[in-house]
């Protein structure tokens, strides 16, 4: 119920941002048009954002015949978690990473890169996939996927302010400085929304994943390995679409320039420390 409330607040906040950008671009008429567009985008995001993100990463669905190692592992963990079997996807990326998406546990998908399958041991990979299934069980997947889709749309809409300039309520040209500010502040606001929903849920998914796998140290070991390797291996799709970074188990961005301000994940060291404490029964 709480995640539904968070999702509703997020969608309302994004529509409000659309309206503010529309006002800067085209005055009252621009605001009304942007509000209508924001509502339509919310509808699209709810029903189709998972498919769009999977297509963006060129994820290929696998089954027990095409990828028995990954598929059977997810199936076993799904049974332990008491969840419906999600669709399973493989992403042809060298960077070790994984994410879950979908609008609810009945329409969920989990995806892993080839890099993470090559890097981690079976025990460590079980910890990672259990983490992703914890996101499914906690119903985090809808809000994170909507955030990724809508933040990208807001960034695109804000860019129009630079090209078309602001208009006042009577259609006269407004101060162009306002359009420039909107172009920078709207994506920042969208990033802050993502940060607010991402950090706490990663800790909860770590805890839930440890419970599902029954091995907190396995996930801790996996996070240490992923953190060490992911920094040196670029994921170009994530770099081109940084709004999707918050969906991953580990921040996939290089961290150069302004992207370093938009980190959506808690410190890996703190995540590992909490998992170690959980393994000792001290958390």
The residues with which 89 forms a beta bridge, in sequence order, are 61, 111
d(Cα 141, Cα 103) in Å, to the nearest integer?
A: 6
With tokens 């529509």, the residue in question is: 15
d(Cα 181, Cα 196) in Å, to the nearest integer?
A: 22
Kindly give, in sequence order, each residue whose CB lies less than 8 Å from that of residue 177, ignoring residues fewer than 6 positions away.
none
**What long-range pairs does 68-74 form, CB within 8 A, spacing at least 24?**
69/117, 70/112, 70/117, 70/125, 70/129, 73/122, 73/125, 73/126, 73/129, 74/110, 74/129, 74/133
* DSSP E strand stretches across 53-153: 60-62, 87-91, 98-102, 108-113
The answer to whether the CB of 250 falls within 8 A of the CB of 265 is: yes
Q: Which of 124, 132, 202, 243 is catalytic?
A: 132
Q: Among candidates 101, 100, 3, 84, which has minimal Cα distance to 48? A: 101
> ∠ CA(55), CA(61), CA(271), 5° rounding?
80
φ/ψ of 120, rounded to 5, equals -90, 150
Q: Does residue 132 have an active-site annotation?
A: yes
Q: DSSP secondary structure string, 140-184?
A: -HHHHHHHHHHHHHHHHHHHHHHHH--B-TTS-B--HHHHHHHHH
Active site residues: 132
């Amino acid at each position: 119920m709480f995640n539904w409330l968070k999702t509703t607040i997020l969608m309302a906040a994004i529509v409000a941002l659309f309206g503010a950008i529309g006002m800067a671009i085209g005055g009252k008429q621009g605001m009304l048009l942007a509000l209508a567009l924001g509502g339509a985008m919310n509808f699209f995001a709810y029903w189709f954002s998972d498919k769009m993100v999977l297509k963006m990463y060129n994820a290929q669905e696998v089954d027990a015949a095409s990828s028995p190692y990954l598929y059977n592992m997810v199936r076993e963990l799904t049974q332990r978690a008491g969840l419906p079997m999600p669709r399973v996807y493989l992403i042809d990326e060298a960077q070790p990473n994984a994410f879950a998406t979908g609008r609810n546990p009945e329409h969920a998908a989990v995806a892993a890169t080839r890099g993470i399958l090559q890097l981690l041991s079976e025990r460590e990979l079980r910890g990672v996939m259990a983490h992703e299934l914890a996101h499914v069980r906690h119903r985090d997947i809808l809000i994170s996927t909507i955030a990724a889709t809508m933040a990208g749309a807001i960034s695109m809409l804000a860019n129009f302010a630079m090209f078309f300039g602001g208009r006042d309520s009577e259609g006269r040209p407004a101060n162009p400085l306002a359009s420039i500010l909107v172009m920078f502040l709207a994506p920042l606001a969208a990033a802050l929304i993502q940060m607010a929903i991402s950090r706490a849920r990663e800790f909860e998914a770590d805890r839930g994943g440890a419970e599902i796998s029954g091995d907190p140290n396995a996930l801790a070991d996996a996070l240490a390995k992923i953190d060490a390797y992911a920094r040196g291996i670029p994921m170009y799709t994530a770099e081109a679409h940084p709004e999707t970074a918050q969906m991953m188990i580990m921040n996939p961005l290089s961290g150069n320039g302004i992207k370093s301000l938009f980190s959506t994940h808690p410190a890996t060291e703190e995540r590992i420390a909490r998992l170690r404490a959980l393994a000792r029964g001290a958390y």
